[in-house]
Amino acid sequence: MSGTGRTPEETARLCGGILDEIERVVVGRRRTLELVLIGILAGGHILLEDLPGLGKTLIARSFAKVLGLEFARIQFTPDMLPSDVVGAAMYDQRNSEMVFRPGPVFTNLLLADEINRTPPKTQAALLEAMGEGQVSVDGETRKLPQPFVVLATDNPIEYEGTYELPEAQLDRFLMRLRLGYLQPVEEVAMVQRRLDRGQDHVELAQVIEAGELLAMRSSLEQIEVSPDLVDYAVAIVTATRANPQIQVGASPRGSLALVQLARGEALMRRRDFVVPDDIKKVVVPALAHRVVLRPELWVRQVSADDVIAALMASVPTPRTDPAAGPSAGATAGGRRGAGAS
């Protein structure tokens, strides 16, 4: 099964089953779960940033179980060393030789819990792993298992004993998500569900295997992106570099992330082509963490999410939108013809 490719329709159907299973324990977070799954399908790493107790760790564990991924967790602390993350050579007295002992990074899904509590040197130990899928220790490069996904969490309100993630580290994350509080009706449903089942733990079923996830990822490459939408995505990223409220704009990696996430959004909607709305729906998670605002905005408590959302209004939306006209149900060839009109 792991060696066969998947069509976008098959992948979308599997995604529905994955999300339904996770929603057995994660209540009221369907859109967040969709975005996390889109990020995983796009081969990226995800930063979950929000207050304690909002389900960040539960989401990571649930995805590992349902996707059939080997799971490891690192609870970052101020005294953690890089070797605690990637591993180190240890002396084996039995063989009188140095033996490499892999760190927790050698897994499929790594939960980097409270990543901003550890010093930059240890944070940097993840850079190569996240960017290249490998680690270098004692002059030797070791490949990580595939798929390899980092789900990192951080707490944005505690500053004492924390270290702000540098731009290079943030840029390695495909997206950043902020959960927010549940609506009262959703929180009531969560509490009632706990009372009804009579226990804390819920055993989730495994829906796919790790190899199947790789096949699902390949189906993302079948999602069409017309040239005008590529131009649109790049125009949005370029606008971040010219915006007077932004000190440092998004890198070219932001353009790649925006297009890949838009393809994932289209797949979730069971389409094999991207429309402008797909880009709009993922632009804040894809770009807000890649920009640096001017210092005066921080004092005024203006967030990067707000700036990116407002910036969208200054970028003209392509007139070609297959979902808006008669061509919505057309074939791929018909869509390309509509795009040329």
* AA identity, residue 235: A
* AA identity, residue 80: M
What 8-state DSSP symbol labels residue 224?
B
161: tokens are 């004993």
Question: In CATH, what is the architecture of 8-215?
Answer: 3-Layer(aba) Sandwich (3.40)
* AA identity, residue 49: E
Q: What is the pLDDT along the chain (341 residues), one digit of tens a residue?
A: 444 568 899 999 999 999 999 998 888 889 999 999 999 999 999 999 877 777 788 899 999 999 999 999 999 988 999 999 999 888 777 877 888 889 999 999 999 998 888 888 888 888 888 988 898 887 788 999 999 999 998 877 655 567 778 787 888 899 999 887 878 888 888 888 878 877 777 889 999 999 899 999 999 999 999 999 999 999 999 999 999 999 999 999 999 999 999 999 999 999 999 999 999 999 999 999 999 989 888 778 788 999 999 999 899 999 865 555 433 433 333 343 333 32
Query: Scanning the structure block, which residue is given the tokens 């797909």?
Result: 278
- What SS3 state is found at 324? coil
Q: What is the pLDDT of residues 268-307, one digit of tens each?
A: 999 999 999 999 999 999 999 999 989 888 778 788 999 9
Q: Where does residue 238 rank: exposed (0-12), middle (13-18), buried (19+ CB within 10 A)?
A: middle
Q: Where does residue 140 rank: exposed (0-12), middle (13-18), buried (19+ CB within 10 A)?
A: exposed
Q: Do 8-215 and 223-317 agree at the fold level?
A: no
CATH class of 223-317: mainly alpha
Which residues face 246 on adjacent strands? Answer: 293
Whole-number Å distance between alpha carbons of 237 and 42: 19
Q: What share of the chain is helix, strand, coil (3-state, %, to 5)?
A: 50, 15, 35
Residues 6 or more apart whose CB falls under 8 angstroms from that of 35 comprise 175, 177, 282, 285
- What SS3 state is found at 249? coil
Which residues face 224 on adjacent strands? Answer: 273
The pTM assigned to this predicted structure is 0.86
Query: Scanning the structure block, which residue is given the tokens 């790594």?
Result: 110
Whole-number Å distance between alpha carbons of 127 and 86: 11
Whole-number Å distance between alpha carbons of 242 and 172: 22
Domain range annotation of the chain: 8-215, 223-317
Which residues face 177 on adjacent strands? Answer: 48
Whole-number Å distance between alpha carbons of 256 and 173: 12
